[in-house]
Amino acid sequence: MANVPKSRDGYQWTPATGLVQGVPTLGLVQPSKKGLKNSKRYDVVVVGAGYAGLTTCRDLTVAGNSVLLIEARDRIGGRSWSSNIDGYPYELGGTWVHWHQPFVWRELRRYGMIDQLEVSPRPGMEGGSRVTVNLDGKVVSLSHDEESEIVESAFKKFINVDGVLGRSVIPYPHDIELNMAGVKKYDQLSMADRMAQVESQLTPLEKNTFGGFLAITHGAKWEEASFFELLRWWALMNYNYTDFMAIGLTYKLRDGQSALARRIFDEAIDTGRLDYSFSTPVKSVHDNGSHIVITARNGDATFEARRAVCTVPLNVLHTIAFTPALPSLKREASMMGHANQVVKCHAEVANPEMRSLGATNFPRGKLTYTFGDGTTPAGHTHLVAFGSSLPGAHLDPEKDISVTKQAFEAFHPDMKVQRLVFHNWHQDEFARGAWEWLRPGMTTKYLEALRKRHGNVFFASSDSSFGWRGFIDGAIDDGGRVAKMVHDELKMRDLPRSRL
């Protein structure tokens, strides 16, 4: 993987190179266009090459449909992609997977990638196996077991709204519509509202440690993040803290998420039924009733298809002009946007003993939490860190690399930073935020509307999927769901009338 080509996306810094925009990735697509003909009308055009779009393309082409994929970036993967540097992947977006996530697990099995699983944090390793917490300027050192006990205790107090740790609110985690009365009640609460209800029950150490954990979970101002979203995550992760950490933050892929995305993309290509145009931001989607006309932002290219599947992130949807106009609830939801503006940064540090490090610098740190995520080919430690968007602590890592470097060094006085790698999602025009975390009231008001088709345009997205919404699994789930709907509709319309 030494000669992996570079995307325009992402940033890398080393003392030798300084800050450089663009990082190598297995997800780069070259050449950027394939098979385009002005006169061709496709069965389906798919907008967006994240996991939802890739799954849609794969399933539709395998089923026999002609598909055009249009992507604004020069790569596949959307908000889940890895930079492969010297053969080592740094996950710049979605990362962790688990066998309790059925759709991503099906893909790993399909492509023979089950043996790619690696454990990310390693709390039991020798040396540096402590967690440090910045408690009002005083550094408290804990074992990993002590940290887990503290966070679990606080988590249960925070989540236990019904005396049975949320089970009565979300009895069916993959179908919240079965108890919308309970959903509505807790969807109106913000994370700040819930903290005010339980704050007196938390010790100072619980409040600080758990507060840092929550800050990088929703990545928003506390009053702008729905408490229901945390209840939903908790239910999906089997209503207990041990599974929460195992499912959400433990297992990653040895070759990175771009390796899995590439397998899905390549299978679609191998059918001979997928054409594509990368580096092609979409300006407008016009539904003529009989077919769709999509116009690129530069105005030089238009594409036609019988149906369209739009997979762009929620926070970007309103930037595309739809004719007929989008229903008001869809547009309102996109204009409001989900709240998550978390920052994710990677560091390679010349401290092998930090492989099992965990550290919190909340609420003042520009980066809130870090932990050892691997060992690089040079024998150094790979740290991944997250930062929240709290006032005074927000970080745009590319604006001043010395501030970003200092944010890592604040976790440990002896840290020797050799490399920084990151993608600034909230400054990315094609994302405008990280993983989905809806604002108070958005689930009950907008979620159903976001899933609905609009004429001949269908919508698939991790941001509005069933089940693992906001996760890689949710994107794959929704892409497959919509692909089946579109294929069945096209197939039915193509049947001879004598068979209807």
Residues in binding site for FAD: 71-72, 282
Q: Decide the pairing of beta strands 274-277 and 67-70.
A: parallel
Q: What is the DSSP code string of 77-100?
A: BTT--EEEETTEEEESS-----TT
Q: Are the beta carbons of 454 and 327 closer than 8 angstroms?
A: yes
How far is C-alpha 160 from the chain's CA centre? 27
Residues contributing to the annotated binding site: 71-72, 282, 386
Instruction: Check residue 278 and report its DSSP letter.
Output: -
Q: Residue type for 261, please?
A: A
Q: How many C-alpha atoms does 204 have within 13 Å on its Cβ side?
A: 7
Neighbouring residues of 3: CB distance < 8 A, sequence distance ≥ 6: none
Element (H, E) at 235: helix 227-236
CA–CA distance, 334 with 68 (Å, rounded to integer)? 25
* Residue 433: Cβ-neighbour burial (10 angstroms; 0-12, 13-18, 19+): buried
Residues contributing to the annotated binding site for substrate: 386
At residue 336's C-alpha, the angle toward residues 331 and 342, to 5°, is 130
Residue 380 φ then ψ, to 5°: -85, 170
CA–CA distance, 135 with 414 (Å, rounded to integer)? 19
DSSP three-state, residue 14: strand
Place of tokens 């990545």: 219
Tokens representing 162 are 């019904």
Closest to 79 (Cα-Cα) out of 93, 97, 95, 96: 93
Using CA of residue 475, residue 477, residue 482, residue 484, what is the dihedral sign? Answer: positive
Closest to 260 (Cα-Cα) out of 67, 94, 459: 94
Question: How much helix, strand and coil, in percent to the nearest 5, is found in the chain?
Answer: 35, 25, 40
Give me the residues paired with residue 68 across strands. 45, 275
Q: Are the beta carbons of 314 and 463 closer than 8 angstroms?
A: yes
Q: Decide the pairing of beta strands 282-287 and 292-296.
A: antiparallel
How far is C-alpha 249 from the chain's CA centre? 13
